[in-house]
Chains A and B, each alone.
Chain A
Amino acid sequence: MTLAGKPDVNLPGGAWESDRDYCPTLTPAGARMLEKLRGHPCAPVYRNRSGNKLQAAEVAALHAYEREVMDAVVAWSAAAPPSWLPDFLKVTYATVPYYRACGSPPARLADVAPISRAELAHDIAAFVPDDADLARMINFQTTGTTGHPLLIASHPLVAGRYLAFHKRALRRFGVTLRHGAGQVGVMLLGHQRRCFTYVSVTPTMDESGLAKINLHPDDWRQAEDRARYLDAMAPELIAGDPISFAELLTLPMTHKPAALMSVSMMLLPGMRARLEQRFGCPVLDIYSLNEVGPVAVYDEQAGGHVLLQHRLYVEILDSAGQPVPDGARGEITVTGGFNFCLPLVRYRTGDYASLAHGPHGPVLVGLAGRSPLRYRTVNGEWINNIDITHALKPLAIALFGVHQHGDGSVALRLAPGAMPQADRARALLAPFFGAIAVETLLAEDKIIQYTSDLQEAAV
């Protein structure tokens, strides 16, 4: 039964009695918001339960943290690294088992051997500080594209802090979130055959609604309900990845959110332009990782992804672990972070960019996931995968893969919805490769975007 005494058809086991387990500060107004999200006649099937798990004191702490994030200035450089770094190293080497085993804290960050996903995947427990509260610990799981599944130690406060960085990113585009009680703050979109879906409230926004929904028609009574539900709930913000946004573009919804926020995959400018045109709002491209949280947001005026975290130091390293000069490409390597359950010291992210400094602070230029690959053109010259990204920019596609076979032939893989753009894609890549094959991409999640069978492809 719902609080209103009506039978509820859209609640997995536990129902109202356990909503407070997921949302400990839930008030009757918050409960009504959950009911609104679940009980609408066009609501999808919510398959899972989740919530903010925040205690009252933590909600207050999050308000203070948000002010800190909004006021912070990110203005360090390699010559003048942030002042918190030495203390951070000292504390990390004293309290984190992995680093304690390495001995005394190093005098300089550059003396620390970088780690990668493999180390975290091997034993995450070694990276959790002694003072992390196990009773409140939560996890985030990621499969990634590198073959090392990761279980990330985290905490409800850490999850709650994401919003502060998103607000900082939104501010760059003139958007201030205003939703509160009785309104839906954010809809998180997925578009997968199987997707974790749930409803919750955001206590720092006066218990506005949050819903993770799956746009796949299997999760809805009728496919048409998707647009009706989005219009009825009118979320102030919609977050998703390019795949779910591509699906969103097919829906006849009329509601205009204040902003769209794209995470987890490369958002091509063509796709961003279509979304901006369709919804009449800014479309933010957030570079975010499970291990680190939101790192940066793309800002054309800044020429790349502007860093968002004031306690995250970024270096660009070459394959030998040496920092490269500003402007040179290399692997994005991070130190610090806001997840106090997983302090990172020179963590190689597996993503590549160059670093520039200017009026916007440090900016990641030419961000691309995974290590760079080069491709052999029809003329026998080599081009970098970033050149292919640039070439495909005009396309409004959510996801693509480019593979070069051992004989030099190239296949472009596009999602089924993007196949009408196959001819244009062929034309854009023809100067490099001549005629190419365009195949249908059936993967529904992240893929390795650039692959090659040629041994000389590794940069």
Chain B
Amino acid sequence: MMQIGPHLETLTHRLADTPVEFLAEPRIAGVANAQAVAVAALVNDILLLHGARAPAASLQGFIGAQVKADRNRLALAMIVCWLLADDWFTGQQLPQHDLLQVLGEAARELAASTPAHQFTQDPERREELARIVLARLGFRPRDESVAQATDRLSAISGTERRRLLEASRLAEQRAREIREALAKKAAEESADKWSRE
């Protein structure tokens, strides 16, 4: 975060104004949707905007294979593409490796627990995404010191991550309880149905 970036508000506004094309469905193998976006191609376009050329192998991770594993991550990668197409970012001509790291790893981490579109709809999540993208690329918001930027990022991100970790723990516990609740009921002792399928 040693370099000075744009005003945070310009990025959060850009996220709030994300065009519907970037909120569309990512293309995933086996899902019949002719309008779905080929995220690997979109990522390649963003790399080109930054003057970078990526070998096909580095785009493999943006080809959706499974809905549960890839849909949310790729949906967020599309939103990050929109953010990285901002004039300020393209003016930096960022290195391919850094761009791929943000679009790949950062999107994967954030998408693990938050629906992608919340990063455009919810003010706190917009700020979180903007701060994380800046930080991963080595920038901090204009008018913030390194210490301020670090504090705010860890505050907004840390609180959310703790909340999500707790939610994840509770979800796992509940799944266990559901399995136990179902397993201990003897089959068909359950309740009357007026027919048996």
A binds B: yes
State whether B178 touches A142 (Cβ < 8 A). no
A-B contact pairs, 7 of them (CB 8 A): A50-B192, A103-B71, A111-B25, A113-B31, A159-B190, A162-B195, A290-B197
Q: Given known contacts A107-B25, A111-B36, A141-B187, what 10 new A-B pairs fall within 8 Å (CB)?
A: A103-B72, A103-B111, A103-B116, A137-B178, A138-B191, A140-B187, A151-B182, A162-B193, A196-B187, A289-B197
Contacts of A107 in B (CB 8 A): 24-25
Bound together, the chains give a CA A200 to CA B188 distance in angstroms of 13
State whether B115 touches A263 (Cβ < 8 A). no
Bound together, the chains give a CA A187 to CA B182 distance in angstroms of 27
Partner of B195, one of A52, A151, A166: A166
Contact string against A for B residues 162-180, beta-carbon threshold 8 Å, 1 for contact and 0 otherwise = 0000000001001111110
Q: Residues on B close to A: CB < 8 A?
A: 24-25, 28, 30-33, 36, 67-68, 71-72, 75-76, 111, 115-118, 171, 174-179, 181-183, 185, 187-197
Partner of B72, one of A98, A101, A162: A101
Residue of B nearest to A320 (CB): B32
State whether B71 touches A50 (Cβ < 8 A). no
Bound together, the chains give a CA A139 to CA B186 distance in angstroms of 8
The answer to whether A188 and B188 touch (CB under 8 A), given A97-B171, A134-B178, is no
State whether A321 touches B68 (Cβ < 8 A). no
Tell yes or no: A434 within 8 A of B by CB: no
Contacts of A156 in B (CB 8 A): 190-191
The answer to whether A321 and B31 touch (CB under 8 A), given A52-B191, A126-B175, A210-B192, is yes
Interface size of A by Cβ–Cβ distance < 8 Å? 67
State whether B185 touches A261 (Cβ < 8 A). no
Residue of A nearest to B67 (CB): A113
Q: Return B1 CB to nearest CB of chain A, in Å.
A: 29
Q: Residues on A close to B: CB < 8 A?
A: 48-54, 93, 97-98, 100-107, 110-111, 113, 123-126, 128, 130, 132, 134-135, 137-142, 151, 153-154, 156, 159-160, 162-163, 166, 186, 188, 190, 196, 200, 202, 210, 212, 237, 239, 241, 261, 263-264, 286, 288-290, 294, 320-322
State whether B32 touches A321 (Cβ < 8 A). yes
The answer to whether A104 and B75 touch (CB under 8 A), given A162-B193, A288-B195, is yes
9 closest A-B pairs (Cβ-Cβ)?
Answer: A103-B72, A138-B190, A104-B117, A159-B191, A125-B178, A125-B175, A321-B32, A141-B187, A104-B115
Contacts of B115 in A (CB 8 A): 93, 100, 103-105
Bound together, the chains give a CA A141 to CA B72 distance in angstroms of 32
State whether A113 touches B30 (Cβ < 8 A). yes
Total number of residue pairs linking A and B with CB closer than 8 Å:
149
State whether A48 touches B188 (Cβ < 8 A). yes
Contacts of B118 in A (CB 8 A): 104
State whether A139 touches B31 (Cβ < 8 A). no
State whether A48 touches B189 (Cβ < 8 A). yes
State whether B196 touches A263 (Cβ < 8 A). yes
Contacts of A53 in B (CB 8 A): 190-191
Contacts of B36 in A (CB 8 A): 111
Contacts of A98 in B (CB 8 A): 68
Residue of B nearest to A286 (CB): B195
Q: Return B30 CB to nearest CB of chain A, in Å.
A: 7
The answer to whether A134 and B192 touch (CB under 8 A), given A101-B68, A101-B72, A103-B72, is no
State whether B196 touches A264 (Cβ < 8 A). yes
Partner of B68, one of A102, A141, A294: A102
The answer to whether A130 and B174 touch (CB under 8 A), given A162-B193, A264-B196, A294-B195, is yes
Contacts of A212 in B (CB 8 A): 196
Q: Return A99 CB to nearest CB of chain B, in Å.
A: 9
State whether A102 touches B72 (Cβ < 8 A). yes
Residue of A nearest to B33 (CB): A111
Residue of A nearest to B115 (CB): A104
Residue of B nearest to A318 (CB): B32
State whether A141 touches B192 (Cβ < 8 A). no
Residue of B nearest to A317 (CB): B32
State whether A196 touches B188 (Cβ < 8 A). yes
Contacts of B25 in A (CB 8 A): 106-107, 111
Contacts of B68 in A (CB 8 A): 98, 101-102
Residue of A nearest to B31 (CB): A113
Bound together, the chains give a CA A162 to CA B36 distance in angstroms of 39
State whether A124 touches B72 (Cβ < 8 A). no
Bound together, the chains give a CA A366 to CA B177 distance in angstroms of 41
Partner of A153, one of B72, B75, B174, B182: B182
Contacts of B111 in A (CB 8 A): 103
